[in-house]
Structure 1
């Protein structure tokens, strides 16, 4: 238990540092580049990098799965070599493909950086994909403390790079070179502490069983990623890098969403899977309803605050140059209001995995069609309208499937009264803060200062005591465990 607790602390710490680092670097460069076009071109490079790093995540996730599946020590140790070399070859392959097709990318994104800095771009992509292997490696080896130290080092080196950019007026080529040196340093440090990967004897490619497990994961990951990135890709091809810069700043996924929903899902999936195998449908409804109440309590106030004060928050960080991004941020955040229900996680837990993939493909298709129709007419806002429409239309199939699979109507697991209470309280208090800012012409940073007291006031007023009661939560978990 102690090891699990410590791993969680280090994992949350490392992820939080990386999210903070990405945000700091993005804000700095948006202010550093005098023109939106330069910032937009830079951001497009990293949209491709982040997309392919996420696409490659199926391999390290498979490492964790088979580490738990293989019970003998020898089998567990040997998989490190196979998975590392598979990740290495995938990274080289993707980097090589992009290098060969850099001209096509440059034309598609209307971005000469893909062609002019193709070697630097592909080198950085390759290093980032390889480095993404090491989270699961150190997690399974019980060495997340070392991983956390490396992430801290990366954070410090990147801040030094930020200072160097300011002092020496560095350009894109220099910035990419600096990022490559940081990624290479990470790889050297990781590699020197994981020589086990190279010392083990045995094959260097995945077994048939391992490949058959990873392939569907990559397919689902690809479909999900394309759904997330469709608007960004289509804005890049239909509009221009300047529009992309404006959209990218506004289409910002609030880190707290993933942290809160991820924490709830982690606890929910094994409980629901156990209840489904026992046929206890009634308890599934209770667990899903309680999880939705928890997520609503912690997530809805954040969403409402960002929706109502979005322009102030964005312009405080990115300056008035990105004022339109603030309005995009308001609309984009509204697409998360029903993420309080972990539909995909619940469907996976009760045996509807194939429907998750089908629903993702349907959402992707709808998103592409709507983007093609709306972006030429409404520009950046057309992409937001498409995201909103496809997101909410995508909830109909999961709601229908849950009604058939566990005989649960939507309102049986969606606490409408509790959700409405949180929504109303958050809206009233956020509007009051907005009124103060607009009426008294307060500094935009006041929106950030008031965010913390706003959040805790809502939690104190709206919290159902049973949600936060640790003893009740523990007793319910024990009850499930005894069944």
Structure 2
């Protein structure tokens, strides 16, 4: 086992780079489809992806995290056997998922009130069997400090998805069905490449029969499965209510706007991917696990806040400009969804999942998601009856998600027998928030009064350059330390 604390910066940088490219390719494909499809066809395509990601949570049974949990605790001679055992389960689940999509497509189309969805899901049905075996491979790469493989996998796989979709839509002048066929072909290429990278990563490991039984794997994953199911309801009921009660066109507008700022997801996912194997190993081996885990987690938490809050605040002010640039003037209203969802980023920067999993608090993790899902469903349905507003439905999700994250943060402080003020640097958070708000407001006023900035791209570029320059000056004046950013992007050892 080779989890190396001193190497965390380099590994996090590779994960972040891969996540950035993955998000970039996803955005580019959305930009292309938004312009070549009308809202009805585009909404149908987005519904297919929505159904896939919704059911994916159920059919993976919480297994993607098993790599990050068990591999740091497994002797090298058993590694290949353990990975093969988990991968076999993924193939079985993928087959069940594909059959379910094909045979239950009429019912799913009826639920989402879109007759065109039935055929689209049948065409898409081979994808789960192809892609499920690639789930969780980031845990393998993170465990053995090979996250550059994850970055390479994201770049190659997402490139092929983009190329195949572009060829089917632009070159062949196809519709959403040909785009799905292109997605399927690219998925097969992704599977082959993932298997190749897994083989390279594990080529010096042994293949002796693993001591980890299926029972242990399932025992670990079941609480995560329950949490995933509640998380499924929590994260997707917003899409369901909007799709069901507000129509395909509104769903298309919501789908484009209800996205996370890529830099936030990139940074948080990088921290989670790298820290989970480290926390799992320390909690298994070290007598001073609590002290070591808390120190590393606090450090990562504070750095994440410093890096993400200024970006989130800036894009809150420029949400409409971003949507118009990405998807065109017809999706101007998506900017309001984007702004609402950005508010949740002030909470989601907390990488709570890896520490809860590592300390064995998966049951609590599951209960919180259950209560949160119940609250969101009741409140969102009530809001439809009272206000009939898709924006209120979106805002309810953001508020409930924030409350859930705070409750999990309080649990962590209790576990480590500390106070929340020792984990959250309230002074730094307040200072960064105020500075970011003022500078964003000033740059927005500036850009609104310059007539030569006549399109959204110019507004965003000029405003961000000005904002970035002034913020650097302000951070030096108020002594907000960003020296670690240079270490991250220069790939220094420490």
Question: What is the SS of the residue equivalent to 2:347?
Answer: coil
Say whether residues 1:444 and 2:451 are aligned partners.
no
| Alignment size in residue pairs | 465
What residue is the counterpart of 1:477 in the other structure?
none
* CA deviation profile, 1:348-369 (whole Å, cap 9, x unmatched): 5666443322222111111111
Q: CA deviation at 1:175?
A: 1.1
Say whether residues 1:425 and 2:440 are aligned partners.
no
Alignment of 1:335-414 (within 5 A): 335-344=344-353, 347=356, 352-376=361-385, 377-395=387-405, 397-398=407-408, 401=411, 404-406=414-416, 408-414=418-424
> Gaps spanning 5+ residues in structure 1: where?
474-483
Structure 1 CA distance, aligned partners of 2:295 and 2:161? Answer: 46
What residue is the counterpart of 1:333 in the other structure?
342
Alignment of 1:22-41 (within 5 A): 22-34=26-38, 36-41=39-44
Q: CA deviation at 1:127?
A: 1.8
> For residues 63 and 138 of structure 1, do their structure 2 counterparts lie closer, same or farther at Cα, with a shift above 3 Å needed?
same
Moved more, 308-317 or 179-188: 179-188
Structure 1 CA distance, aligned partners of 2:409 and 2:10? Answer: 37
> For residues 355 and 195 of structure 1, do their structure 2 counterparts lie closer, same or farther at Cα, with a shift above 3 Å needed?
closer
Q: CA deviation at 1:414?
A: 3.0
What residue is the counterpart of 2:170 in the other structure?
166
* TM-score normalised by the chain length of structure 1: 0.83
What residue is the counterpart of 1:462 in the other structure?
475
Moved more, 156-165 or 437-446: 156-165
Q: CA deviation at 1:456?
A: 5.3
Alignment of 1:66-465 (within 5 A): 66-73=70-77, 75-132=78-135, 134-136=137-139, 148-149=151-152, 151-164=154-167, 165-191=169-195, 207-264=214-271, 266=274, 270=279, 278=288, 291-344=300-353, 347=356, 352-376=361-385, 377-395=387-405, 397-398=407-408, 401=411, 404-406=414-416, 408-441=418-451, 442=453, 443-449=455-461, 450-455=463-468, 457-462=470-475
Structure 1 CA distance, aligned partners of 2:345 and 2:150? Answer: 31
Q: CA deviation at 1:159?
A: 4.0
Structure 1 CA distance, aligned partners of 2:197 and 2:356? Answer: 39
What residue is the counterpart of 2:492 in the other structure?
none
Q: CA deviation at 1:146?
A: 5.9
What residue is the counterpart of 2:46 in the other structure?
43
Q: CA deviation at 1:106?
A: 0.3
Q: CA deviation at 1:299?
A: 1.2
RMSD: 3.7
Question: What is the SS of the residue equivalent to 1:378?
Answer: coil
Structure 1 CA distance, aligned partners of 2:140 and 2:164? Answer: 28
Structure 2 CA distance, aligned partners of 1:147 and 1:290? Answer: 24
Alignment check: 8 A CA contact 1:87 1:129 kept = yes
Higher relative contact order (Cα pairs below 8 Å, separated by 6+ residues) = 2
Q: CA deviation at 1:243?
A: 1.4
Q: CA deviation at 1:115?
A: 1.2
> Gaps spanning 5+ residues in structure 2: where?
488-494
* CA deviation profile, 1:267-311 (whole Å, cap 9, x unmatched): 59849969x964988x98887665544232211111111111111
